[in-house]
Amino acid sequence: MARPRPAELPEQKPAFGAKPRPGQRVSVEEIEQTILDVHERFRLRSLAYDPWQSQYLAERLRKANVPTREVNFTAKNLQAMATTLTEAFSERAIELWDDPELLSDLRGLRVVEKQYGWRLEPTRDGSGHGD
């Protein structure tokens, strides 16, 4: 089954995102604002989130009319996420901006076999950080 071609990317990468200073975390408020900005620009159809870490943020986003859906990080879902991402790349159904950090993160993903199947895991940097 052929997938529809994704919408064309804008010429320039949008200036979205929050990056913490070394040794610090990104604030939840910055994450929320980034999601709101992305939704305003691209009209998200759905934002999947991990309820273990993002329940409160998802509640706030729903109040701001961002469509959200809970995705538990179960073995089945982790394998489905890995399959979807690898298929998107192998079928050339994904377009990316030339963003060195994003490309580095994607290149750092590794397929890891588990008892339940397989999943993608990031390689760790010198400080042990992997996402």
| Residue 45 · residue 4 · CB < 8 Å | no
Q: Indicate whether 49 pLDDT > 60.
A: yes
Which residue's entry shows tokens 């489905």?
A: 80
pLDDT for residue 5: 47
Measured between alpha carbons, how far is residue 102 from residues 97, 107, 109 in Å? 9, 9, 11
Q: What is the pLDDT of residues 29-43, one digit of tens each?
A: 989 998 999 899 889
Per DSSP, what are the bridge partners of residue 121? 110
Q: How many CA atoms lie within 13 A of 84 on its CB side?
A: 6
Per residue in 59-104, pLDDT (tens digit) is 999 999 999 999 999 999 999 999 999 999 999 998 887 888 888 8
Write the CB contacts of 40 (distance below 8 Å, at least 6 apart in sequence): none
- The alpha carbon of 74 is separated from its chain's Cα centroid by a whole number of angstroms, namely 17
Q: Is the separation of the CB atoms in 118 and 108 below 8 Å?
A: no
